[in-house]
Structure 1
């Protein structure tokens, strides 16, 4: 979940009011693109359904709100979405991370319990393949923010046993494991001593390490320590968003290649275009100025967002922008190192034109076809690459 980005802070109630982007046109999905998504395992490593349900419960086995539900997932060909067990960074200090993580896992189990004919928890790569053959949607889980580990290796085992298969080491603030890319206070200068120990234990237990959100120093320390390939479960490229440390630069991509890992591209507009990020920064600055000079209950403060948008439409990214990120990874480090980590239900209404919800994957596939990608390469992007990493992690744990 990316509600801490400048874009997402306002997306949930504003961005639907206007659409402005360069290159907004996209080719509607052809029958070939639709068939590719329908007959291929499609893994998206980051969808924030559990925390969305924490705010308002919905039965996502039926048509529902947000970016994800069963009918739209079926339409889009999504059959293996990682449910994000998102833990707000503030709980590191106030407490409650462990309890919330277990509660969100309960929600995922409840989804399956309500519709066992539609969903199944996936604990392994073989589970994903079995569910696909059975016509069910796999629900593997990833924990976004390692705060619930609470410095106890037994908690790592606990969450593994509950179905968590990757952990994003930190989120928007540094925690007891790692510094965050968003946090100016680099208390550990990378990983903490416990964080370094945790990396080794994650390798041994068969838990994928997620390097999204962590600082550059922490990233390189993970690269040096991990004996298995890692994932960036929902990150994009700094090449297109200069100065945005949350994304990965070319040097990091090259290190990721050496590690054998994979970057799963985030769809959020501020992750794929500098224009969207700059718009968010300007919005926040102006909002702070207005708030300082006016009473909190004044109309100018209450109606600021609506008035600002009327004069400054939000610059949505395009499908082409997302494809540019995939292209760059492929050209720099190869087709084996890129996948999909959309951040659906985590970036509000900031999603690019053409990729508005989980029914939209055929549009992405059509874009890849239009750019000359073969069916074989598209299958690697849709699932082959991340399943290869997951299998490597499983195999290492089986030996150690």
Structure 2
């Protein structure tokens, strides 16, 4: 940082002496390329300094996530060094590990790729004819011409683009801004659901009995007199008439409570008395004369019920966007007929966690050893296994693609009728792991 400030001061001194002879961009009269480059470098130095400060204040969970990633980066750097590649700016670049681009519409940005290192991240089946040699060789047009469909290539490409929903995606992008504005105006939950009850979502979430209660309150709203409506607008509450009390707490209502109904009928309180009671209650709560406490017997019942429950097998329960961090109990449950997508297992060892007929896609296993956890009829793709030893885990009838094993020893893990493609073993020793009728590609 001191060097940057010193260079900036020297530049100002030079500008003061040379004046009009300074190198100035003619297209931008006020632009000085040398100073712009200096500012850009300064911004990068500031960002690196901020990143270092951020890493010093990380929590234990963040450190657990950063550690394996740092180890993978160092392994990639070591491999590039052994291959004779230039790694002088490696720390300033992003590493794309097993991140292929599929059916891309535009070629990769050359300026962007200068700051990236792509490892097992090709552009596959691209819908264009541009890009580097590898991208052109793996494009959809090249594949179609290879099988002899050159005359109809453009028509077939147009059909693929239309079937992929590109036009629909463009229309949705146009309308996304309006939808985003509407979502910002309304407070919604994490899944986009409105945080208020309507008849539709109440009937789905709560059932018919709760829907009857909503009907009672809606009908009660229609029974308000003009004076009651005025009181509701002014203070937010009002007193009910005897007819309204009978409608809410009577025998035909889901809120039926004869004791409460008789109590309210006997009180015969007017608006002034109700206001006085509310003020006295608020005062007593503030002075701690009145306290609201949970019934301890009910609390103990809930705790006993929770302690008595046990985890069961995960069956017919698709899983997505799950982060299992330090949770061996969860990952040790057998997973049956439950596909898993976009999830991660971090520091979560598993024992007897069989996986049967549950395809895995884009699932990372980091520092999560597995023992006696067979994988049967379970296709998996883009599943990196990093620092995750496997022992006594037979893989049976489970084809895989793009599943690298990095620093993950395998012991007594036979591959039976489980073809693998693009599944490299990087610094991962094998012991007693027969490959039976299991072809491998690359």
**TM-score, with length taken from structure 1:** 0.24
- Identify the structure with bigger relative contact order (alpha carbons < 8 Å, sequence gap 6+): 1
Q: TM-score, normalised by structure 2?
A: 0.22
* Structure whose residues are more often helix by fraction: 1
Give the greater-gyration-radius structure (CA). 2
